Structure 1
């Protein structure tokens, strides 16, 4: 709860400073509100955002709910306004993380924690793959997943994000060599991802999908160098696509994905692996790093 209250306190100060800048600087007013009337917006935003954040900092749950709801409404409204008019793009960008921060802080104030376990429920619940599936079946299933996930997260979403970035007039210039460099990095990261997927699906008796997880703890190929080579590959791929598209927002999208994976998904996944593989996984986790590769340790290739 303390961290949630701290967030609301910081947000109250930041909100007050932003409104002071809006009325003091035409530049700040223009890039964050565009042609909107700042007085009309302030009448609602100061009590529902700044004051509510201040009150929520004292642990008042109702204020936290009001602030979070209002922040979400403003974020959506500014996004629509920026898309239609090409104005206030920086305001829309600012409100998006503010909304996420409010939601997290609200969870901490109301529940004392962020209920991340809901992510692994239903079709995304951790379940081992069927033992009867052959290696060929697992490989085929894995590469079907790759086509879908790469198509969505590395093509469709980045192209939409880059288009919105241009529409909101928040794009920043990239050097001419950014595209080729991004292409080389994307190729290298893709090779890492494909090789990791092949090793997991052939030796692990399963797939990377949570609903058909490997039945074996695989410590071979890239997994001897780093614990989560597919996650590392995906994050680097996302950043490389952002560089290729000259889009700092897509790069930010990749960084946000890395934070989500590291602080939300990874602990749940590693808890499941520890329950299933016990001491062997604990030794593996202590020896092989999550993000930074290093020389392979001595481990059996497969542990059932």
Structure 2
């Protein structure tokens, strides 16, 4: 493994522990203590929906982080950004799979535990991610990757995934 790739893997692993694990694990636990409250709409079936969101979000998050390190040769942290634009895996469906996955895990916990406080937290996290993407991330990516990013942005939605994978030209 090259030094650049090794540094990207280590940096990404550290960022993973300190950001998504805290945002989607520690903070929801702190808010809810993962205590089961009555299910939303008094329907036990909602708990299955919550479980599905958590189960779907976690591997998507791990895969997206791995792609940043191994293909992008960087980290999700702005201080050590990727050297290459990542447009494979879940990035073929949605431009921000990490943020989508974190919000899915938070909202999944909210639905699983029947906790409206977690639902509010998940909404606030999405708003924070959206503001960050609009004001910082997209302008920086457009400047760094130019036409390649513009093509990606024109073909892959920001938040709601495509039904079929986008393929670069």
What range describes the TM-score normalised by the shorter chain of this pair? 0.7 to 0.9
Partner of 2:83: 215
Q: Which protein has the larger Cα radius of gyration, Structure 1 or Structure 2?
A: 1
Partner of 2:47: 179
Over aligned residues, Cα RMSD in angstroms? 2.3
Change (3 A) 1:271 1:150: closer
- 118, 123, 133: which one pairs with 1:266? 133
1:275 CA drift (Å): 0.8
SS in 2 for 1:258: helix
- 188, 201, 215: which one pairs with 2:56? 188
Partner of 2:168: 299
| TM-score, normalisation: structure 2 | 0.85
Q: Contact 1:239/1:250 (CA < 8 Å) preserved in 2?
A: yes
Q: Contact 1:197/1:208 (CA < 8 Å) preserved in 2?
A: yes
Q: Distance in 2 between matches of 1:193 and 1:274?
A: 23
1:241 CA drift (Å): 1.4
Q: How does 1:122-141 map to 2 (within 5 A)?
A: 133-141=3-11
Q: Distance in 2 between matches of 1:140 and 1:257?
A: 25
Cα deviation digits, residues 67-118 of structure 1 (max 9, x gap): xxxxxxxxxxxxxxxxxxxxxxxxxxxxxxxxxxxxxxxxxxxxxxxxxxxx
- 25, 29, 34: which one pairs with 1:159? 29
Q: Distance in 1 between matches of 2:82 and 2:11?
A: 12
Cα deviation digits, residues 14-39 of structure 1 (max 9, x gap): xxxxxxxxxxxxxxxxxxxxxxxxxx
After TM superposition, which residue ranges in structure 1, 4 or more long, deviate above 4 angstroms? none
Q: Contact 2:12/2:75 (CA < 8 Å) preserved in 1?
A: yes
Q: Distance in 1 between matches of 2:95 and 2:138?
A: 10
1:173 CA drift (Å): 4.7
| Alignment size in residue pairs | 163
Q: Which runs of 5+ in 1 are unaligned?
A: 1-131, 164-170
Change (3 A) 1:297 1:150: closer
Q: Distance in 2 between matches of 1:178 and 1:253?
A: 18
| TM-score, normalisation: structure 1 | 0.49
Q: How does 1:245-264 map to 2 (within 5 A)?
A: 245-262=113-130, 264=131
Q: Contact 2:39/2:46 (CA < 8 Å) preserved in 1?
A: no
